[in-house]
């Protein structure tokens, strides 16, 4: 059984992004476990969770959840920057993650526009 939100490309991209964040943060120093790693993972997870939760609502409510998801993307961008500054990720990984964030953000913006 597949739920309607699981058919959304943006939801699939958000799930893939979260999986990537889990892989990337698994390599972070152990002292970041309860700080940066947890925050990064929660922010990434929040993107797909808000898409899923909002999808069963009215268009107005769905837009609100999508805007929250965009906020989580911005949080991930800040976490990417901090992770790069701490040398937990290299420039190549940082750029790839930022591109993922940009793509998901644009997809969400398109979905918001379509719901308006």
Token pair 């898409």 is found at 51
Q: 47-71 pLDDT, tens per residue?
A: 999 999 999 899 999 999 999 999 9
| Number of structural domains in the chain | 1
Whole-model pTM: value is 0.95
Closest alpha carbon to 47 in 101, 4, 94, 6: 101
Q: Residue 105: which CATH number?
A: 1.20.1440.60
Percent of the chain with pLDDT over 90: 96
- DSSP annotation string for 4-35: GGGG-HHHHHHHHHHHHHHHHHTTS-GGGIII
Q: Show the domain range for 100.
A: 4-115
């Amino acid at each position: 059984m597949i739920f309607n939100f699981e058919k959304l490309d943006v939801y699939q991209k958000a799930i893939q992004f979260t999986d990537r964040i889990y892989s990337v943060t698994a390599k972070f120093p152990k002292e970041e476990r309860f700080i940066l790693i947890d925050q990064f993972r929660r922010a990434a997870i929040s993107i797909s969770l808000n898409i899923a939760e909002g999808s069963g609502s009215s268009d107005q409510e769905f837009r609100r959840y999508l805007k929250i998801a965009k906020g989580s993307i911005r949080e991930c961008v800040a976490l990417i920057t901090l992770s790069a500054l701490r040398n937990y990720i290299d420039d190549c990984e940082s750029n790839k993650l930022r591109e993922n964030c940009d793509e998901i953000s644009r997809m969400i913006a398109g979905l918001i526009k379509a719901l308006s």
